[in-house]
Chains A and B, each alone.
Chain A
Amino acid sequence: MKISNLVCRLLATSVATAALFAAPAAAADKPIRIGLVSFLSGPAAGPFGVPARIAAEAIVESLNAGTAPAPYNAIGFSGVPIELVIIDEAGGATKQVAEFRNLVERQQVDFVIGYISSGDCLAIPPVAEELKKLTVLFDCGTPRVFEEGTYKYVFRTRPHATMDAVAGARYLLDTRPDLASYAGINQNYAWGQDSWNDWTAVMSVLRPKAEIVTSQMPKFGAGQYGAEISALMQSRPDVIHSSLWGGDLEAFMLQSTPRGLFRRSGLLLIAGEPNLHRLVGNIPDGTIVGARGPHGVFAPKSALNDWLRSIYRARTGLDPNYPAYSAAQAFLGLKAAYEKARLDKVRNATPMGAAEGVKEGMEEAYKMPSTDEVIAAFEYLTFDGPSGKVMMKLGKGHQAVQGTAYGTTRTVGGQIKIENIKYYPVEQVQPPEGMSSIDWIKGGLKPGKW
């Protein structure tokens, strides 16, 4: 009895597994529809939204062709091709909630991957729960999503923003142990405020004696930074912290470099990585940059990394920046969860009792996994991304964690190189489960158990 059971299970598993990877499954006539929500217009489109969309399209094309490296070499998801429905993220949270409903109900997507803006990432999860639609937040940073709420249908495959300040400060103090003063220039909206608050909190723990000489808060999209630059120059900080991004960052750099601001002060850019290639000649050597996770220039060499770089380069002629890595992580994470759910289904399908149940078991196993099954597989999953291992370890298994890296820029022969890269493991830069970021920072940044 026992042995025949075992044989049946083994047989069923191996047959089904082979079927999974060898040929498109039974339901292959209907592709899996994934809604992709990303900025296609407005200031966030250039640096974030469009690179993410291009990466998503390239990845889907490659996955559908089955040309991605192992373990992602099965066609589509478990042999079923994927189809993208792309929506613009512009317009604010109210419109995005409406669009999310349309995407789910009118467009009948199976999964949603999206959201770069933190406001959208806070507004969407309750609706995803209501509509019971598995939603992967792919690029936004606010830790509030899973620190203030618990969700069943919502995942985020990218680490949250706390590590920006923590790793940035560690790197800064590692490389400039004599630091005595700092200043900030951040946009006056949630992202800039949070970034600066995290930063001052971390610095007050790691270097309590350092003096804050000025905190400039220009409004989002201000464009003109003359007075801010004067104020920064006159206060002569050792280093300037900035979470400016995209066009605002570029305008600030264009206006401050000719004025010699960086001959007086160093610069640390929290979100500068997507703009690096554009800032050649307008960024001082020794600028500290990070990418929230070892993405882009920080990504260690691997088959997956080479794959992403080559398919992205083929479309744009550029190297992928961190939003492209975020998009890749979301698609690969979902694929990993989906295929794991499929495998788990096959493994559990064969009945424990009589051998005659095998047929029904096989049929059941051939069916695509349900959303609940994918969720069960996704929680606490560890998967490989182009920048290394991603672990879904926070937010009850719904929030990804990764280590991160910082480095300094040097312009060599018209190209910006990153030197002195230092990697920081998860426990040094992320709060442990069940503790809010700000409590963890104020409590002295004690490494948690992972």
Chain B
Amino acid sequence: MKRERTVVILTIVLAAMLVFAPFLPNWTMFLFTVALCYGIVVLGMMLLIRTGLVSFGHGLYYCLGAYAAGTLEPLFGITELAVMLGSAVAICAGVSAILALLLRRYRDIFFAMLSLAFSMILYGLLVKTSSLGSTDGFNVTVKTMLGVHIAGTAYERYLIFAVTALIAWVCAVLIHRYLNSHRGRLAEAIRDNELRVEYMGASVANTIHLNYVMSAILAGLGGALMAVSVGHIDPEMAYWTTSGEFVFISILSGTGSVLAPFLGATIFESIRSFAYEYSPNTWQMALGAAMLLVIMFLPGGLWSLFRRSGRSAM
């Protein structure tokens, strides 16, 4: 029963979002869309963090996913959303499966920094590619969704939001199931002591490999959805500050539940958005202070606010 509670909450939230979104002001809906995209990426980060790995280079897949989706139009003239997302997933899965062979041997700060090096190399490559607009990037348009023309229609924004919410829901439910599976539970054991995990006969390398690929796919999906909702992509998505932001949101959220990343992302986006507006000169200070407060007083992340007695959702 307990295990299902998270799924029930997720479904209720999804239904509520889909129903109420059309009545929200446009900017709120956009804020939620962005938060959901971040949430999907951070969900992947959470998977890694539970394994004890923090990547300072997840912007690599976030950016790769966005470019895999966005370059379909200039290269092949494809503007169908499903194909764009599919391409993001395929490319991120492929690249991460190869890189994981190397990265799964690394831990701690070395894992973080080697990931950072890879994402910065992608950044450098994209900056050098002036046919893709270098640092200026280029605009991304979606014309059809499963064959239905949506570009320029009144419900375009809503549909993109709805698709993002739906994908976020699917990801969250699947990851939730995975975390409660045998292999999913290995993650925390690996973080605590991987030698013991090996003694028990489980493969640390394979588990990390699998988690890494899954988190890369989630980052790629998040990036592709972000590209579609913002309508513009640039290499900044692979820059280390972007990856730093994901780590930031992950720690802000906590790793207690698959709901946490979405909550954290929404709060992060809101703080930033209002800090931009009310203190245009000191919004970084506001973000930093918020971060420090959370780390000081909520060591388990924002999620611990919702976990009253012991373990509930998980």
Contact flag (A, B; Cβ within 8 A): yes
A120-147 interface mask toward B, CB cutoff 8 Å, 1 = contact, 0 = none? Answer: 0011001100110000000000101000
The reply to whether the CB of B135 lies closer than 8 angstroms to some CB of chain A is yes
Tell me if B134 and A107 are in contact (CB < 8 A).
Answer: no
Across the interface, B30 reaches (CB within 8 A) one of A87, A101, A193, A220, namely A101
* Known contacts A102-B27, A142-B136; A87 and B280 CB within 8 A of each other: yes
The reply to whether the CB of A93 lies closer than 8 angstroms to some CB of chain B is yes
The secondary-structure label for the interface of chain B is helix
* Known contacts A93-B232, A94-B226, A131-B26; A106 and B277 CB within 8 A of each other: yes
Tell me if A193 and B277 are in contact (CB < 8 A).
Answer: no
Q: Which B residues are in CB contact (< 8 Å) with A144?
A: 133, 136
Tell me if B25 and A119 are in contact (CB < 8 A).
Answer: no
Tell me if B139 and A190 are in contact (CB < 8 A).
Answer: no
Q: Which B residues are in CB contact (< 8 Å) with A44?
A: none
Q: Which A residues are in CB contact (< 8 Å) with B273?
A: 98-99, 102
* Known contacts A131-B26, A188-B127; A94 and B230 CB within 8 A of each other: yes
Please give me the residue from chain B that is nearest to A142 by CB atom.
B136
The reply to whether the CB of B284 lies closer than 8 angstroms to some CB of chain A is yes
- Chain B contact-residue range equals 35 or more
Please give me the residue from chain B that is nearest to A37 by CB atom.
B280
Tell me if B137 and A93 are in contact (CB < 8 A).
Answer: yes
Q: Which B residues are in CB contact (< 8 Å) with A216?
A: none
Please give me the residue from chain B that is nearest to A94 by CB atom.
B230
Across the interface, A126 reaches (CB within 8 A) one of B135, B139, B233, B269, namely B139
B245-287 interface mask toward A, CB cutoff 8 Å, 1 = contact, 0 = none? Answer: 0000000000000000000000001001100110011011000
Chain A, 91-110, CB within 8 A of any chain B CB: 92-95, 97-99, 101-102, 104-107
The reply to whether the CB of B138 lies closer than 8 angstroms to some CB of chain A is yes
The reply to whether the CB of A433 lies closer than 8 angstroms to some CB of chain B is no
User: How far apart are B179's CB and chain A's nearest CB, in angstroms?
Assistant: 29
The reply to whether the CB of A344 lies closer than 8 angstroms to some CB of chain B is no
Tell me if A40 and B280 are in contact (CB < 8 A).
Answer: yes
Chain A, 185-199, CB within 8 A of any chain B CB: 188-191, 193-194, 197
The reply to whether the CB of A285 lies closer than 8 angstroms to some CB of chain B is no
User: A133–B147 Cα gap in the complex (Å)?
Assistant: 30
The reply to whether the CB of A4 lies closer than 8 angstroms to some CB of chain B is no
The reply to whether the CB of A371 lies closer than 8 angstroms to some CB of chain B is no
Across the interface, A93 reaches (CB within 8 A) one of B27, B130, B134, B236, namely B236
User: How far apart are A87's CB and chain B's nearest CB, in angstroms?
Assistant: 6
Tell me if B130 and A197 are in contact (CB < 8 A).
Answer: yes
Tell me if B134 and A193 are in contact (CB < 8 A).
Answer: yes
Tell me if B136 and A101 are in contact (CB < 8 A).
Answer: no
The reply to whether the CB of A202 lies closer than 8 angstroms to some CB of chain B is no
Q: Which B residues are in CB contact (< 8 Å) with A102?
A: 27, 273, 276-277
Tell me if B230 and A105 are in contact (CB < 8 A).
Answer: no
Give the interface of A toward B (CB within 8 A).
40-41, 86-88, 92-95, 97-99, 101-102, 104-107, 118-119, 122-123, 126-127, 130-131, 142, 144, 149, 188-191, 193-194, 197, 220
Q: What 17 additional pairs, Cβ within 8 angstroms, besides A97-B232, A126-B141?
A: A86-B280, A92-B234, A93-B137, A93-B230, A93-B232, A94-B34, A94-B230, A94-B236, A95-B272, A98-B31, A101-B26, A102-B277, A119-B234, A149-B139, A190-B133, A190-B135, A220-B135
| A/B interface sample: 15 pairs, CB < 8 A | A88-B276, A92-B234, A93-B232, A93-B236, A94-B226, A97-B230, A98-B269, A102-B273, A106-B25, A122-B139, A123-B139, A123-B234, A149-B139, A189-B127, A190-B135
Give the interface of B toward A (CB within 8 A).
25-27, 30-31, 34, 127-128, 130, 133-139, 141, 157, 226, 230-234, 236-237, 269, 272-273, 276-277, 280-281, 283-284
Task: Rank and list the top 5 A-B pairs by shortest CB-CB distance, nearest first.
Answer: A123-B232, A190-B134, A190-B136, A189-B135, A105-B27
